[in-house]
Amino acid sequence: MTNDIARSANPSTIPATSREIRLASRPEGPPTAETYELVEAEVPALRPGQVLVRNTLMSVDPYMRGRMNEGPSYIAPFAVGEPLEGSAAGQVVASADADIPVGAEVVHFAGWRELSVLDRGAATVIDTSSAPASAYLGPLGTTGLTAYLALTRFAPVEAGETVFVSAAAGAVGSVAGQIARLLGAGRVVGSAGGAEKARRLVDDFGFDAAIDHRAGDLPGQLAAAAPGGIDVYLDSVGGDHLEAAIGAMRDHGRIALVGAISGYNSDDQVPGPRNLYEAVKKRITLRGMIVSDHFDAFPEYLEHAVPWLASGQLRTAETVVEGLERAPEALLGVLDGTNVGKMLVRIS
């Protein structure tokens, strides 16, 4: 270690190795135990400008399943034999960066490991006196930003309109329903898997009505929940949900396409909506969105989100799995819809 690092941390307290989860093979269908490898890796000495972070929490998100596949996409696939990655929060335990001292709480994108060595600019210092670290992985992170941008830029909500949110008990959906209300929506309808989740949409997150998509007849349930039709739809599911939304959409409606979790574990292409021509007749706008294209909007979003969260206008939920070794289990849970709110893994 350099002298700078030695002045900022006691080298004897820094482990020589750290556990990390690597991609062992590319899955066909749902990931299995053979997809992952938990290994002990050497912790390298820091170079100037780097910091060493002991991770406490990591985020598990549906898009991670797509990165296990080979082929071009909006983000590079995970490399076989290399650690997976994703959003994480932790504390700096050694620093060769004059701007980030030891003890600072940070968020970064090198999760799926106990210790992360980060280059200058890869770690963002957070204020955990105003919100817990987990909030920066959820409502104050890309989760919240996705919901906000979807409903302000890609399918903007106007006062009095009816909004439909799929995967509404999940991380993005549970935030989106509340943001829709804060933006002036007149009625907010959510879809979730199971009667208990549907109940929580109304009781915990303030939706006006909830659909249990596992009960069947999604178009019929949506028609009952929004008898006058819908104006805005936030799509995280694709498939039957997108088809039902197009069927229920009023003229000049808007759809923000942020995910298609119904097909993430499928080896075949999931069929598109059979009623797509309805989008032509109704003059519906469908816009795809990748949140990483819009990180410049974080300051705008946080101006709203921080006071919303502090005042209780924005309520969140977390599903926490204990232990790095259970991260693969947590990812399967997200893909199966077992979580309510943000799925997190507590590492230490």
In a domain, 156, yes or no: yes
Q: Contact at 8 Å (CB) between 154 and 176? A: no
For the stretch 293-336, pLDDT in tens is 999 999 999 999 999 999 999 999 999 999 999 999 999 999 99
Residue matched to tokens 């991260």? 327
Residues 6+ positions from 265 with CB-CB distance below 8 Å: 29, 30, 65, 335
Residues 14 and 75 in one domain: yes
State both tokens at 226.
């929004």
Q: Is the pLDDT of residue 226 over 60?
A: yes
In a domain, 302, yes or no: no
What is the total count of domains within the chain? 2
Higher pLDDT, 130 or 173: 173
In a domain, 90, yes or no: yes
Q: Contact at 8 Å (CB) between 86 and 111? A: yes
Residues 265 and 165 in one domain: yes
For the stretch 30-60, pLDDT in tens is 999 999 999 999 999 999 999 999 999 999 9
In a domain, 183, yes or no: yes
For the stretch 81-102, pLDDT in tens is 999 999 999 999 999 999 999 9
- What is the C-alpha separation between 77 and 16, in angstroms, rounded? 29
Residues 94 and 14 in one domain: yes
Q: Contact at 8 Å (CB) between 256 and 234? A: yes
Per-residue pLDDT at 13: 65
* CATH code of the domain in which 261 resides: 3.40.50.720
Residues 178 and 231 in one domain: yes
Q: Is the pLDDT of residue 227 over 50?
A: yes
Q: Is the pLDDT of residue 151 over 60?
A: yes
In a domain, 298, yes or no: no
Name the residue range of residue 84's domain: 3-138+316-346
Residues 146 and 261 in one domain: yes
Q: How many CB atoms lie within 10 A of CB 40?
A: 11
> Which whole number is the average pLDDT over 4-13?
50
In a domain, 68, yes or no: yes
Q: How far is CA 178 from CA 59, 181, 197, 204, 289, in A?
A: 21, 5, 16, 10, 20
Band the pLDDT of 112: cuts 50, 70, 90: very high
Per-residue pLDDT at 10: 54
Tell me the backbone φ, ψ of residue 154, rounded to 5 degrees: -100, -35
Residues 286 and 176 in one domain: yes
Residues 226 and 336 in one domain: no
Per-residue pLDDT at 252: 98
In a domain, 200, yes or no: yes
State both tokens at 242.
């997108």
Per-residue pLDDT at 314: 96
In a domain, 285, yes or no: yes
Per-residue pLDDT at 2: 40
Average confidence score pLDDT of the chain: 94
Residues 157 and 120 in one domain: no
Per-residue pLDDT at 15: 86
Tell me the backbone φ, ψ of residue 41, rounded to 5 degrees: -115, 150
